[in-house]
Amino acid sequence: MNLAVLFSIVIVLFETRPTNSQLQMVLALFRHGVRSPIVTFPTDPHANYPWVGGMESLQPKGLVQLYELGQSMRARYKFLFPDHVANRKQKIYAVSSASQRCIDSAQSFLAGFLQTTTGINGSVVPKQPVPLHIIPGDQDAILYQLNATCPRASLIRKQLKEDPSSELGPFLREGAILQEYVSSLIGAPVTSLHNLALICDALEMYHTL
């Protein structure tokens, strides 16, 4: 079996197969576990909360999430990757983006996936380390979307950043009241959609954690 694992992606893909075929490879794509917020705001009651690792870092709950995901995938694909397999680094190719929370997530997933040490006859099989390949941020055009080289996507992103009203005018006008309301609650002006997204992200993290 070959198992390729890439981190910091939102989707998990599993190919269905006819009854007379044989699964040869699993490609799993998924995002990091629960992390701490990226930003705070003036009225944030958790502004000084001592997050493990600081802001933007994988939290203990996120480590557990990825460990359990590893266990779940091991149970699902155990018939392709039995307990007695010792030469693991030739069977698994794991890739992570350079963000520390993604690296931590990858390591936690692999710990859950490779937890067993039972051999085919009940003996102990030495665990062979599985290397985690890190893609540097400036070279990552696969996992880190902002490095994508699509000219059209880059142009649209540039236009929206310079003049969001060109494409989002109706949305911005309809959301003006909400924007003012959110600004009053957080104690700072919401100046852009990106700014609003970061505030929403912080609130979502508080709710999740």
Same domain, 104 and 176: no
> In which band, very low, low, confident or very high, does the pLDDT at 130 lie, cut at 50, 70 and 90?
confident
What are the pLDDT digits (tens) for 64-96?
A: 999 999 999 988 888 777 766 656 677 788 889
Structure tokens at 29: 């794509």
Of 143, 160, 194, the one marking the end of a domain is 143
Same domain, 10 and 93: yes
Of 116, 143, 170, the one marking the end of a domain is 143
Identity at 94, one-letter amino acid code: A
Of 96, 119, 143, the one marking the end of a domain is 143
Q: Indicate the pTM of the whole model.
A: 0.75
Alpha-carbon distances, residue 101 vs 53, 60, 61, 197 (angstroms):
10, 11, 12, 20
Same domain, 169 and 137: no
Same domain, 180 and 114: no
Same domain, 44 and 98: yes
Structure tokens at 160: 């929206």
Domain that holds residue 184: 150-209
What are the pLDDT digits (tens) for 14-35?
A: 444 556 777 778 888 888 999 9
What CATH number has the domain bearing residue 18? 3.40.50.1240
Q: How many domains does the chain have?
A: 2
Q: Give the percent of the chain with pLDDT over 70.
A: 73
Same domain, 130 and 168: no
Pairing relation of β-strands 2-7 and 92-97? parallel
Same domain, 154 and 207: yes
